[in-house]
């Protein structure tokens, strides 16, 4: 009912997405699991690289598919990218280095009950992000997440659902991002976007850095 997760047979397939170890959330901003998924409590710390990359041009739009999202799990949807080595992402782990930049974010619409993840509560809905048109060509790891806030009125309470996929970006762009952040490290338990009462009619501050702009 949430996102797709990986059975042992699925993990043997070659693909662009790094494996997701289960359907449950990450609940700590300090665990490596908050980067691309993982299940440290069960002995699986973080995720592992995928074998393949999808090719996409800078400036193009990528559509991601989620399983039907529970209508109680309101929250922001945030997308980051990190530049991989020139040899690709297939053997690279970001660790705790500051390599991530934000390319899209969506939160709450004013004080209404409409959130960035609201469209995902309808079957067969997708979520789109655009690769910055000025971005230098090369290999990139994309981190996409929903933060469910239905129990975030105290910490721990926010539920993180991250997933990562690997791209080879083409084009004539020359720009590399600055003001990079580490994940874990970009979020704090005291951030107003992490500890937040979603049942109150109040504005919402999306956590993390500002969105990269060309």
DSSP string computed for 143-191: EEEEEE-TTTTSSS--EEEEEEEEEEEESS--B---S-B-TTTS--TT-
pLDDT(22) > 80: no
Average pLDDT over residues 29-39: 94
CA distance 144 to 158: 16
Quick one: tokens of 144?
Answer: 């996409």
Average pLDDT for 120-129: 89
Residue with the bigger pLDDT between 66 and 183: it is 183
Rounded Cα–Cα distance for residues 147 and 8 (Å): 26
Cα–Cα distance between 63 and 54 in angstroms, integer?
Answer: 12
Q: Considering the chain, what percentage of its residues have pLDDT values greater than 90?
A: 81
What is the reported pLDDT for 8?
A: 54
Sequence-ordered list of residues with C-beta below 8 angstroms from that of 94, at least 6 positions apart, any chain: 35, 82, 100, 141, 182, 183
Least confident of 15-24, 87-96, 111-120, 183-192: 15-24
Predicted pLDDT of residue 7: 54
| Predicted confidence band of residue 125 (pLDDT cuts 50, 70, 90) | confident
The single residue listed with the structure tokens 């399983």 is 67
pLDDT at 122: 87
Global pTM?
A: 0.93
CATH topology of domain 10-170: Coagulation Factor XIII; Chain A, domain 1 (2.70.50)
What is the residue-wise DSSP string for 27-92? Answer: --TTSTHHHH--BGGGTB-S----S--EEEETT-EEEEE-PPPPTT----EEEEEEEPPTT-STT-
Whether residue 4 has pLDDT greater than 50? no
CA neighbor of 158 nearest in space, from 96, 206, 123: 206
> Considering the chain, what is the average pLDDT of its residues?
93
CA–CA gap between residue 155 and residue 85 (Å, rounded): 36
């Amino acid at each position: 009912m949430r996102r797709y997760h990986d059975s042992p047979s699925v993990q043997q397939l070659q693909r662009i997405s790094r494996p997701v170890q289960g359907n449950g959330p990450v609940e700590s901003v300090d665990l490596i699991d908050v980067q691309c998924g993982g299940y440290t409590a069960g002995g699986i710390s973080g995720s592992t690289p995928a074998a393949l990359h999808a090719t996409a041009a800078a400036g193009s739009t990528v559509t991601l598919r989620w399983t039907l999202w529970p209508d109680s799990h309101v929250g922001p949807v945030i997308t980051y990218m990190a530049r991989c080595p020139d040899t690709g992402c297939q053997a690279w782990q970001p660790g705790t280095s500051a390599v991530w930049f934000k390319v899209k974010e969506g939160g709450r619409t004013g004080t209404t009950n409409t959130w960035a993840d609201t469209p995902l509560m309808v079957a067969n809905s997708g979520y789109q992000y655009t690769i910055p048109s000025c971005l230098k060509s090369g290999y990139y790891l994309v981190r996409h997440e929903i933060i469910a806030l239905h129990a975030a009125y105290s910490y721990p309470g926010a539920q993180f659902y991250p997933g990562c996929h690997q791209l080879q970006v083409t084009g004539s762009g020359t720009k590399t991002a600055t003001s990079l952040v580490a994940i874990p490290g970009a979020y704090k338990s005291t951030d107003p976007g992490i500890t937040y009462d979603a049942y109150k009619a109040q504005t919402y501050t999306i956590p993390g850095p500002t969105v990269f702009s060309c």
